[in-house]
Amino acid sequence: MKRFLRKIKQNCVLFFYNLFYGIKNTEDIVFHQSGITDESGTSVIKEIENKRVSKALLKGEVTQEVEELRYRTYKVDKESTNFKYYAPTLALKKDGQDNKFMKYDKSDGLDIITIQPNNVLVENVSETLEQVGGRGKREEYTIKIKRDFTPRYRVEEYLKRLDVKKLDDTHVILDMYVSKYMNSYDFKSKGFIKEIEKIRDQKVKSDILDYQEISFITHHAYKLDDMIKFKFRNIWFKEVKEFDGNFILKFKAEIMNEDLDLTKRYFSKTMDDKYKNKEKKDTVVNFSDYATSKVYVCEECGKKVVLDMEMIDKLNAYQGRDITNEKTQDETPQVLEFMDMQISEQTYGKRLCSDCLKKYLQNNNLI
Which tens digits make up the pLDDT trace of 285-321? 555 555 566 788 899 999 888 777 666 666 666 665 5
Highest mean pLDDT pick, 6-10, 157-161, 204-208, 362-366 = 157-161
How far out from the chain centre does Cα 71 lie? 16
Same domain? For 298 and 230 the reply is no
Q: How many CA atoms lie within 13 A of 340 on its CB side?
A: 27
Task: Collapse the DSSP code of 277 into the 3-class scheme (helix H, G, I; strand E, B; otherwise coil) and give the result.
Answer: coil
Q: Give the bridge partners for 215, in sequence order.
A: 144, 231
Collect all residues with Cβ–Cβ distance below 8 Å to 184 and sequence separation of at least 6.
none
Same domain? For 253 and 117 the reply is yes
76 found inside a domain: no
Give the C-alpha separation, 57 to 69, whole Å: 10
358 found inside a domain: yes
Structural domain for 303, as ranges: 293-367
Same domain? For 106 and 218 the reply is yes
Over residues 117-173, the pLDDT tens digits come to 999 886 554 444 444 444 445 688 999 999 999 999 999 999 999 999 999 989 999
Task: Collapse the DSSP code of 342 into the 3-class scheme (helix H, G, I; strand E, B; otherwise coil) and give the result.
Answer: helix
331 found inside a domain: yes
280 found inside a domain: no
Same domain? For 242 and 345 the reply is no
Helix pair 64-80, 269-276: axis angle to 10 deg: 60
Same domain? For 10 and 156 the reply is no
pLDDT at 54: 67
Over residues 163-205, the pLDDT tens digits come to 999 999 899 999 999 999 988 778 889 999 999 999 999 999 8
Q: Determine which of 44-48, 120-124, 153-157, 357-361 has the lowest per-residue pLDDT on average.
A: 44-48
3 found inside a domain: yes
Same domain? For 251 and 301 the reply is no
Average pLDDT, the chain: 75
Collect all residues with Cβ–Cβ distance below 8 Å to 38 and sequence separation of at least 6.
none
* Per-residue DSSP letter, 229: E
Mean pLDDT over residues 29-52, rounded? Answer: 46
Give the C-alpha separation, 164 to 116, whole Å: 8
pLDDT at 47: 47
Per the structure, the count of domains in the chain is 3
- The H or E element containing residue 354 is helix 354-363
Strands 90-93, 83-87: pairing kind: antiparallel
pLDDT at residue 334 tops 50: yes
66 found inside a domain: no
Same domain? For 306 and 351 the reply is yes
71 found inside a domain: no
Please, which pLDDT band fits residue 44 given cuts at 50, 70 and 90? very low
Q: Are 256 and 233 in contact (CB under 8 A)?
A: yes
CA distances from 169 to 175, 217, 232, 252, 257 (A): 18, 20, 13, 13, 12
Same domain? For 124 and 184 the reply is yes
* Per-residue DSSP letter, 161: E
Same domain? For 223 and 131 the reply is yes
pLDDT at residue 32 tops 50: no
pLDDT at residue 68 tops 80: yes
pLDDT at 323: 56
Looking at the whole model, is its pTM more than 0.85? Answer: no
- The H or E element containing residue 8 is helix 2-33
Same domain? For 250 and 297 the reply is no
Mean pLDDT over residues 75-99, rounded? Answer: 63
Q: What is the DSSP string of 41-79?
A: SHHHHHHHHHHSHHHHHHHT---HHHHHHHHHHHHHHHH
Same domain? For 42 and 107 the reply is no
Q: Are 367 and 324 in contact (CB under 8 A)?
A: yes
Same domain? For 193 and 114 the reply is yes
Please, which pLDDT band fits residue 241 given cuts at 50, 70 and 90? very high
Question: 48 versus 191: which is more confidently predicted?
Answer: 191
Domain limit, last residue, from 17, 34, 51: 51
57 found inside a domain: no
Please, which pLDDT band fits residue 51 given cuts at 50, 70 and 90? low
